[in-house]
Structure 1
Amino acid sequence: MKSKLLGSILIIAGSSIGGGMLAMPITSAGVGFWGTTLLLGVIWFAMCYTALLMVDLYDYNDPSAGFNTLTKKYAGPFINKLAGFSLMFLIYGLTAAYISGGGTIIKTNIDLLFDINFNTYAAILLFALVFGGIVVIGTQWVDWLTRGIFMAKLIFLVLLVFLLFPFVKQANLLHSPLSVGITLTAIPAIFTSFGFHGSIPSIVQYLDGDKKRLKRAFVLGSLLPLVVYLIWQVVVLGSLDQMRFMQILQENSGLKGLILSIREMSHSAHVETLFSLFAATGLGTSFLGVSIGLFDYYKDVFKVKNNPAIITSVAGLLTFIPPLLFALFYPEGFILALGYAAIAGVILALFIPQYLYIKAMAYHNKNISIGQRSLMAFIFVLAALIIFAQIKIALG
C-alpha cells in the first residue's frame, strides 16, 4: 500500500515537473526571486486546494468516476462539454509549446556545436517526428522511454544545481520586480507548471478512493514540484544579473535566450551541455506524457472503426498536426503556447473543481463553511487574474 502512495506522489509530481520549469526563469526574469517565490506559493496553494476539493467529491461517488461522469452528474451538459474542450485545448497548447521549445533546443545546440544556421523548421519537424513517432508506435514504448528520460532528467538537474550553485550571488536574488505589468505576464506560464489535475481521477481509482492517502498524495505530490522549482529559481535567477538577463531575452526570446544567458554566465562547456541536456529531457518527458493522453483519447473516439492502422493514423494526425502547425508558424512561440494553455488549465483546474464542489454540496444537502467560501472566492479571483493576464499578453 505504501508503494502505491509513493507511486501516486511521483505521478503527480511527474505530471508537473517538465517544460513549464524551463519557462519560469524566462517569464520571471523581471519579477525577481522573491516575487516569483510569492507567485509560486500562491499558485501551489490554489492548485493543491482544488485537488483536495475534488477528492471530497468521492465521498459520494465511486472511485472509478472520472471528470466526464462527475461533470454530467453535478454540472450538466454545458460544463461537461466545457471540461472536455478545456482538456483538449490544454493538451494542444502544451504540445505546441513543447514542439516549439524542442525545436529551439535542437537548433540552438546545432548552431553552437557546428557554427551553422540550422533551419528552424527542420529542427521543429525533427523533434515532432522523433517524439511523435514514439507516441504513435505505442504506450509501451512511451512508458519505457519516459522512465529512462525521467531518471536522466533528475540526474542532469542534480548535476546542474551542483555546478551552478557557485555562481549564485545574493545580490541577484534581491532584485525587485521591474514593473507590475512584467509580474502580471509571468503568472500564466508559472501556473502551467502545476498541471496535474488531469490525473486526479486516475489517482483516486489507483488508491481505491482512500481519502486519507489521497489527501497525502496530492499535498506531497504538489509540494515536491514547489520545492524543486524554488531550488531551480535560486540557481538560475541567482546566477544571472537581472538587467543583463532581460537584455539577452529581448535580443533572443524564449529558450534560446535562456540557453545563451547560461552560456555567457558560466563560461563552462559542462554547464552549457548539462543545461541543454536537462532542457531536452524536460521537454521530452512532458511531450510524451501530455500527447499520449490525447492520442489515446482520439483512438477511443474512433474505435468503432475496424481497421487499427487507419485508427492509429487518424489519431496521430489529429494529435500532432494542429500543434505542429502552430510551432511552424510561431517557432518562437514556446511562452505564448504555454500562456494559452494556461487559460484552459485555469478552467479545468480552478473553475470547474470549485463549481463541481458547490453543486455537489447542494446536491447532497451539505453546507459549505464561511472559511471555505472565502478561500474559494480568493481562488476564483486568482483564476480570473490569470485569464486577464493572458488576454493582456495576447493584446500586447
Structure 2
Amino acid sequence: MDIRGGWSCSELYVKPGVQFPGRCVRSQSFFHSRVPTACKKFQSLNPAAGSQEDRPRSTSVKGRSIRRESAETTPGNGTLVGAIALITGTSIGAGILAVPAKTIAAGFIPSASIMTGSWIFLVLEAFLLVEVNLALMSSKKANHSLSKVISLQTMAETTLGSRGGILVGAVYVLLTYALIVAYISKSGEVLSLLFHVPRQIAEVLFVGVFGYLLLSGGTKLADRANQFMTAGLIGLFLLLVIGGSKYGDWTALLHQNWKMAPEAIPVIFLALVYHDLIPVICTYLDGDVRRIQTSVIVGSAIPLAMLLCWNAVALSLASTSGNADPLSLAIQTSFAVQLFSLLAVLTSIIGSVLGMSEFFIERLGKSIAILLPGETFFDDATSPRPAHIKLVSVALVLVPPLLLSLSISDAFFTAADLAGGYGMTTLYGVLPPVMAWGLAKESGNSHYPGGRNWITKRGTLAVTGVCACGIIAGQLILDLS
C-alpha cells in the first residue's frame, strides 16, 4: 500500500529504483524518470526498451557530471491494463493505516464523501498533469521526444522557470522526509509489540537493519523482497476486511459529524495520491490521451473502492471498541494486524528511501565534480556507486528522520498530516494548475498549446488551484488551533 495486477516489474526509471508487481516506487518519478522500460510485459512488446544502447550515458562538461539520453530510445508501447495496474499498485501503501483514526470522529458517510470528493479532485489534477506533460511532449521547447519521460521537475522548470524546479526539489525533500519519519515511527511501534522492546530501540534497530540490507543487497534484493511482501499485503488486506466485516456493527456507519470531516483530508490524500507516476504513464501509453485518462480513472477508482471498504469495516468495529480506533486496538494483540501494518510500512519505505538516496547521490556527485574538476562520478546509470557515497546518501536519508521520530511521541500521525496536508497538496494540488496556467499565459490562449479537454480552460485551473490552496490553508488553521 504506499499505499503507493500481478506484474513482475523491472526499472521503470533509469535511475536505480525498482518497480514491483502492481506497485511502482512513488518517490522517484519526478526526479529520476528518464526512459520507461515499465515492466517485463512492456519490454516484450518493445525489445529495444531498457537495452544497453538506450541507457543514458554520463559525460563531463566543465567538470560537472551530467547525463545524456540516447537518441535511439524507442517510445513506450504499453497496454491500458498495464497502466491501470501501475496506478492501482502505486496507491496501495502505509497511508491506509492512518485513515480509521482520522475518520472515526466524522463517521462513515462524511468521510466517504470526503474520499469521493478528494478522488474527483485528484483525478482532475491528474488530468492537468497529463495535459501539461503531453503539451511539452509535443513542444520543441522541452527538448524531449515521446520516447523519454518528462519528469515533474522538468515540467516545472519548463513552465515556471528554474525557480519552479527549485521549488519542486525543496518540496520533494521535505515531503519524502515526512513520509520516512511516519514509516519509521509506525515500524517502531509494530516491532516493539512483536519483540517486546521499547519503541525507541525498535526504531533504531529497524533503521540499522534496513539500511544495512539496502546497502548490501541493493535494488535487486529490494525487488525480490517487495514482490513477496506486496503479495502478502494484499492477502492480509482481504483477510482483515472479510474477517472484520463479520463482527462489525453496521448501524454505527449512520453516525455523522461533518465538522470533523476536514481533519481526514491529509491522510486521505496520502492514501490516494499516485500523481508522481503520471509522467511515466504518458510515455508508457505513447501519449494517447484517451487511454491515459481511462487508466487514471479506472486505476485510481480501484484504490478508492478498497479504501471505502477498509474504512467501512474499521468504523463498524469502532462501536464495539468504545469508539476508539479499532486498528490501534487490534495492533496491540492481533499478529495479523501487526504483520499487515509492518508490510504496509516496508512496501512504502523502500521506494521513498531508494528515490531519496539517488537524489542525494546525484547531488553528491555534482559536488565532487565541482571540487575535483575533470573527475567523473560514474560513467553511466548502471555503473556501481562508490560504497562510501552510497553509505553517506543512505545515512542522509535515514538518520534525520530517525532522530525526528525518536523526539516526537506521535510521529506517525504528525508526519502523515504534514505529508498529506502540505507536501502532496503542494506538489499535486497547487503545482499542476499553476504549470497549466503558465503555459496558457505564454500562449495567449484560453488553454495551453496541446490542450485537449475542457480541463485546460483557465476557469478550471483557477478553481482547482483555489481548492488546493484552501486545503493547505484549512490544514494550517487546524494545526494552529
On whether the aligned pair clears a TM of 0.5, the verdict is yes
User: Deviation string for 1:235-278 (max 9, x for gaps)?
Assistant: 111122188234xx6xxxxxxx7331576xxxxx7xx2222221
- The 1-side partners of 2:302 and 2:201 are apart by 36
The amino acid of 2:126's aligned partner reads A
- The 1-side partners of 2:412 and 2:184 are apart by 8
Partner of 2:102: 27
Which has the higher relative contact order, 1 or 2, with Cα contacts under 8 A spaced 6 or more apart? Answer: 1
CA drift at 1:175: 0.7
- The 2-side partners of 1:174 and 1:36 are apart by 12
Q: 2:234 aligns with which of 128, 151, 154?
A: 154
CA drift at 1:22: 0.6
User: Deviation string for 1:187-224 (max 9, x for gaps)?
Assistant: 21221112222222222233332322222222222111
Q: Does the aligned pair in 2 maintain the 1:128–1:324 contact within 8 Å?
A: yes
Kindly indicate whether residue 163 of structure 2 is the aligned counterpart of residue 78 of structure 1.
Answer: yes
Kindly indicate whether residue 150 of structure 2 is the aligned counterpart of residue 88 of structure 1.
Answer: no
Partner of 1:115: none
Q: Does the aligned pair in 2 maintain the 1:96–1:323 contact within 8 Å?
A: yes
The amino acid of 2:80's aligned partner reads L
- The 2-side partners of 1:227 and 1:147 are apart by 23
Kindly indicate whether residue 198 of structure 2 is the aligned counterpart of residue 122 of structure 1.
Answer: no
Partner of 1:59: 135
CA drift at 1:347: 1.0
CA drift at 1:110: 3.5
CA drift at 1:372: 4.4
- Whichever of the two has the greater Rg, that structure is 2
Q: Does the aligned pair in 1 maintain the 2:115–2:268 contact within 8 Å?
A: yes
Partner of 1:320: 398
Moved more, 361-370 or 310-319: 361-370
Partner of 1:291: 353
Q: 1:392 to 1:127 in 2, by over 3 A?
A: farther
- The 1-side partners of 2:268 and 2:87 are apart by 17
Partner of 1:260: 329
- The 2-side partners of 1:245 and 1:110 are apart by 28
User: Deviation string for 1:40-61 (max 9, x for gaps)?
Assistant: 0111111111111111121342
CA drift at 1:183: 2.4
Partner of 2:213: 134
Partner of 1:395: 480
- The 1-side partners of 2:414 and 2:436 are apart by 31
User: Deviation string for 1:328-361 (max 9, x for gaps)?
Assistant: 1114210100111120111100111111111122
| Gap runs ≥5 in structure 2 | 1-44, 46-76, 138-144, 369-376, 378-384, 448-453
Between Structure 1 and Structure 2, the one with more helix by share is: 1
- The 2-side partners of 1:4 and 1:295 are apart by 31
The amino acid of 2:206's aligned partner reads F
Secondary structure of residue in 1 paired with 2:318? coil
CA drift at 1:313: 1.1
Give aligned-pair identity as a percent. Answer: 27
Moved more, 122-131 or 230-239: 122-131
CA drift at 1:390: 2.8
- The 2-side partners of 1:375 and 1:245 are apart by 40
Partner of 2:285: 207
Partner of 2:89: 14
Q: 1:46 aligns with which of 113, 121, 125?
A: 121
User: Deviation string for 1:73-105 (max 9, x for gaps)?
Assistant: 111122221111111111111111011111111
Q: Does the aligned pair in 2 maintain the 1:187–1:389 contact within 8 Å?
A: no
Q: 1:56 to 1:149 in 2, by over 3 A?
A: same
Partner of 2:70: none
The amino acid of 1:280's aligned partner reads L
Secondary structure of residue in 2 paired with 1:238? helix
Q: Does the aligned pair in 2 maintain the 1:168–1:234 contact within 8 Å?
A: no
The amino acid of 1:186's aligned partner reads A
- The 2-side partners of 1:5 and 1:170 are apart by 37
Partner of 1:234: 312
Secondary structure of residue in 2 paired with 1:245? coil
Partner of 2:224: 144
- The 1-side partners of 2:411 and 2:433 are apart by 31
Q: 1:129 to 1:31 in 2, by over 3 A?
A: same
Secondary structure of residue in 2 paired with 1:80? helix
Secondary structure of residue in 1 paired with 2:131? helix
- The 1-side partners of 2:263 and 2:341 are apart by 22
CA drift at 1:143: 1.5
**TM-score with structure 2 setting the length:** 0.72
TM-align CA RMSD: 2.4
Q: Does the aligned pair in 1 maintain the 2:314–2:327 contact within 8 Å?
A: no
Q: 1:125 to 1:10 in 2, by over 3 A?
A: farther
- The 2-side partners of 1:320 and 1:236 are apart by 32
Partner of 1:386: 471
Q: Does the aligned pair in 2 maintain the 1:17–1:225 contact within 8 Å?
A: yes
Q: Does the aligned pair in 2 maintain the 1:188–1:389 contact within 8 Å?
A: no
Q: Does the aligned pair in 2 maintain the 1:135–1:291 contact within 8 Å?
A: no
User: Deviation string for 1:309-329 (max 9, x for gaps)?
Assistant: 121011111111121111111
